[in-house]
Amino acid sequence: MKLKSATLRDVAQAAGVSLITASRALSNPDIVSAKARERVQQAVEATGYIPNMLAGGLKSKRSLTVAGITPGLSVTEFLPIMQALTSDLAREGYQLLLGETGYDPEREAAALDAMISRQPDGIVVVGLVQTERARARLRRSGLPVVELWELSDRPVDMSVGFSHLKVGSTLGGYFLSKGWKHVGAVTGADPRARLRTEGFRTTYGGDVPIAVVRPPSNLERGRRALAELLEKSPKLQAVCCTSDMLANGVLTEARARGMRVPQDLAVCGFGNTDFSEYTVPSITTVHVDGAGMGRLAAQLIMDRCRGKTEEQSIIDVGFRLIERESTGGEGADSTSHGLGYR
């Protein structure tokens, strides 16, 4: 049944050239005579040849594969990243090897080992690599590594992201400027969300009741979180959420309770998810260029594969506060923070 598929040797034989000429005709057509090239092409068609990249990679040390590690495939903030990564790499002939960690350091370490075993040409990790052991192994592997989404002053190799603390403090400042006295926060349980909430709380100062939401951060948990906050703080005027979906849940629960947004309760989210501009009211949020980060990571990896040595290995892509109706904005304003390279 499993008729063994054609190898390059079969192609060479059918084309009447040597093995290596067939190899070159496919991987480096320019250095081969037009005649030979053509005959090899035909032989490929005739035999239905599909190259075996395990063999090629073993010899050449290039697997044309890049590993992508994410805490969760369905965490919506990371989708644009993975998407951009996948398509940009594919365009240049690289395939993505996917790994999931569930925010668990053990699984992360295991996933990284599984990846390294498969000899990728580079590794992209969403978030910072968590265990020192894994960091050491990555360094030893000598592979190009990009840590994404969060900045590190001591990255394994390269780092592309933004400051979550700064996002939080920007929002804290914004809430202060609005003069709200009774505010609360709804935060996802993951480290980055906590960091943003921490920045918010610190900058806002005073007493801020916080509802912690375990993953996934969906509409339902946003609704429950508002209920929880209102019990702690009945005079609540404004809520800062670590995702647009949670903010949408707060919006929904507020509506169900007959509270007007933003008059009775102001709400802001994070992520500038596609729906947040079109809800009623539209959601004030923080925009982060996920797709841009994915593209940048792909570029950095591929550049490195082609021998460019980067002087610039820590890139802050910044973020942007987008004011919309849910905090009384008109939807036109938008302020940039931390853009640019350092």
Partner DNA sequence: CTGTTAGCGCATTCAT
Partner DNA sequence: ATGAATGCGCTAACAG
Of 14, 24, 267, 326, the one binding DNA (CB under 7 A) is 24
- Residue 256 interacting entry, from DNA, a second copy, none, C-beta within 5 to 8 Å by type: a second copy
- Residue 319 interacting entry, from a second copy, DNA, none, C-beta within 5 to 8 Å by type: none
DSSP for residue 308: P
Q: 57-81: b or e for each residue (b if 16 or more CB lie within 10 Å)?
A: beeeeebbbbbbbbbbeebbbbbbb
CA–CA gap between residue 94 and residue 66 (Å, rounded)? 7
Pair of tokens at residue 49: 């040849």
- Residue 23 interacting entry, from a second copy, DNA, none, C-beta within 5 to 8 Å by type: DNA
Using the contact rule CB under 7 A, the part of the chain among 16-24, 164-172, 194-202, 318-326 near DNA is 16-24
Beta strands 334-337 and 319-322: pairing type? antiparallel
Query: Which is nearer to DNA, 59 or 154 (by Cβ)?
Result: 59
Of 58, 73, 114, 280, the one binding DNA (CB under 7 A) is 58
Helix (H, G, I), strand (E, B) or coil at 298: helix
Residues with Cβ within 8 Å of residue 177, at least 6 apart in sequence: none
CA–CA gap between residue 244 and residue 222 (Å, rounded)? 9
CA–CA gap between residue 302 and residue 11 (Å, rounded)? 30
- Would you count residue 23 as binding DNA (CB under 7 A)? yes
Query: Which is nearer to a second copy, 2 or 235 (by Cβ)?
Result: 2
Of 8, 69, 183, 283, the one binding DNA (CB under 7 A) is 8
Residue 176 beta carbon to a second copy: minimum distance, rounded to whole angstroms: 31
Using the contact rule CB under 7 A, the part of the chain among 33-41, 82-90, 258-266, 275-283 near DNA is 33-41
Q: Tokens 């916080």 appear where?
A: 210
| R_g over Cα of the chain | 25
Query: Which is nearer to DNA, 24 or 223 (by Cβ)?
Result: 24
Classify residue 16 as left (phi > 0), alpha (psi -120 to 50) or beta: left
Pair of tokens at residue 216: 């996934």
CB atoms within 10 A of CB 275: 12
- Would you count residue 114 as binding DNA (CB under 7 A)? no
> Which candidate, 202, 194, 204, 208, places its Cα nearest to that of 172?
204
Decide: 125 and 69 in contact? Cβ < 8 Å.
yes
- Residue 27 interacting entry, from DNA, a second copy, none, C-beta within 5 to 8 Å by type: DNA
CA dihedral 121, 124, 129, 134 (to 10 degrees): -20
Residue 62 beta carbon to DNA: minimum distance, rounded to whole angstroms: 7
- Residue 18 interacting entry, from DNA, a second copy, none, C-beta within 5 to 8 Å by type: DNA
- Would you count residue 295 as binding DNA (CB under 7 A)? no
Residue 159 beta carbon to a second copy: minimum distance, rounded to whole angstroms: 19
Of 2, 59, 235, 306, the one binding DNA (CB under 7 A) is 59
- Would you count residue 18 as binding DNA (CB under 7 A)? yes
What strand order describes the sheet that includes 319-322?
285-287, 319-322, 334-337
Of 14, 36, 239, 246, the one binding DNA (CB under 7 A) is 36
Query: Which is nearer to DNA, 13 or 152 (by Cβ)?
Result: 13
- Would you count residue 46 as binding DNA (CB under 7 A)? no
> Footprint of DNA on this chain (CB under 7 A)?
4, 7-9, 17-21, 23-24, 26-27, 31-33, 35-36, 49, 51-52, 55-56, 58-60
